[in-house]
Amino acid sequence: MREEVTAARRIVVKVGSSSLTAPGGDLDGARVDALVDALAGRTAAGREVVLVSSGAIAAGLAPLGLTSRPRDLATQQAAASVGQGLLIGRYAAGFGRHGRTVGQVLLTADDVTRRAHYRNAYRTLRKLLDLGAVPIVNENDTVATDEIRFGDNDRLAALVAALVHADLLVLLSDVDGLYTGDPARPESTRVAEVHDATDLAGVTVGPAARTGVGTGGMVTKVEAARIATGFGIPVVLTAAPLAAAALAGEPVGTFFHRVRRRPAARLFWLAHATSPRGRLHLDPGAVQAVVGRRKSLLPAGITAVDGAFNAGDPVDLVDERGAPVARGLVNYDAVELPGLLGRSTGELAATLGPAYEREVVHRDDLVLLAGAPTPASG
């Protein structure tokens, strides 16, 4: 038995399109009901459940006479508009059998990335849970544009899990776990546990099957697991029919252990949920100082600036090859910086005044990005 699973009080469960629809694309009522029964079992046992459900686009296909998932955004949005109502209607009926009320929560990326918005989203979810309802979250597909879209719901689910401070994230798909390669190949085997990146070294993480209704495949699920475990939330990835077993703590699917230390919430959002408004190019010495010695970034180490940001905005710090190594909140407007580059803080203070002695990004407002070189690896 997985103790972290059985002890979890607040659980975010994400279910993919492929687990809710019949092969033709229509919503499969029996599958929805089976999932609802598994979740209602947990709510009856006093657990709080937030469901992140995909399937709006898939559910809208058949009613609109479409035979496969459309590629263009406008048709996807029309399908989502038709399908989302059907989906929620189905869940409302399903949970109604258990005497539970559901609440629809449609979010855009902005709602979980901008501080003022995610506080608002948090309050709504919190209140629904306090009132005993089951929040059912999806991306707000009808208004999300290509630029701001998550597209798949895996990353959204990880961010929602962080938002509501969940104790567990369960990702339900059409495959019963992470496999070492394409699960259709006989030589692929299920990975039972992932402790850290080394357990993923021999794993080929692939996209969704081309014929299906899913979008992200394993790539977005492993990324979602990385985000959630980095926030101290363990993740179970398994197939939807195994939901009840997974929620009971049985050793099904793939269990991603959490990284013990929960980062400061503010820095977590900075790393995972904000979009940078610009880029600061660092010379090698500045990369060493920021990444290797965790120092603040000073004007002297910056060689170029891109973007139209204001003081307080998130920006990426990139190395000489343009690879992001850290993200931070910048203390200057973009227009101010070109005149300061390469100059020491002492010189700037002497010529421009003491206000210009401040760091470009303070170390407390900096978070290193995954993949950044560590001091040991150079």
Q: Given the rule CB under 6 A, which residues bind ligand ADP?
A: 16-19, 54, 173-175, 178-179, 181-183, 203-206, 208-209, 212, 214-218
Q: How far is the CB of 76 from ligand VHF (least distance, A)?
A: 8
> Which residues are CB-contacts of 13 (< 8 A; sequence separation ≥ 6)?
39, 49, 50, 51, 52, 169, 170, 172, 243, 247
178 binds, among ligand ADP, ligand VHF, none (CB under 5 to 8 A by kind): ligand ADP
With binding defined as CB under 6 A, does residue 237 bind ligand VHF?
no
User: In a 10 Å sphere around its CB, with 0-12 CB exposed, 13-18 middle and 19+ buried, how is residue 98 labelled?
Assistant: middle
With binding defined as CB under 6 A, does residue 55 bind ligand VHF?
yes
With binding defined as CB under 6 A, does residue 54 bind ligand VHF?
yes
Measured CA to CA, the distance from residue 291 to residue 324 in angstroms comes to: 11
Among 51, 56, 168, 252, binds ligand VHF (CB under 6 A): 56
**Binders of ligand VHF in range 65-94 (CB under 6 A):** 80
139 binds, among ligand ADP, ligand VHF, none (CB under 5 to 8 A by kind): ligand VHF
Q: How far is the CB of 168 from ligand VHF (least distance, A)?
A: 18
Q: Binding site annotation covers 173? A: yes
From 5-13, 191-199, 214-222, 223-231, span contacting ligand VHF (CB under 6 A): 214-222
Q: How far is the CB of 102 from ligand VHF (least distance, A)?
A: 15
Q: What size, in residues, is the chain?
A: 378
Measured CA to CA, the distance from residue 260 to residue 199 in angstroms comes to: 17
Measured CA to CA, the distance from residue 228 to residue 170 in angstroms comes to: 10
Distance of CA 260 to the CA centre of its chain: 19
Paired tokens of 202 = 């021999």
Do 161 and 128 form a contact (C-beta atoms < 8 A)? no
101 binds, among ligand ADP, ligand VHF, none (CB under 5 to 8 A by kind): none
With binding defined as CB under 6 A, does residue 319 bind ligand VHF?
no
Measured CA to CA, the distance from residue 62 to residue 295 in angstroms comes to: 56
Extract the annotated binding site for substrate.
Answer: 54, 141, 153
Extract the annotated binding site for ATP.
Answer: 14, 173-174, 215-221
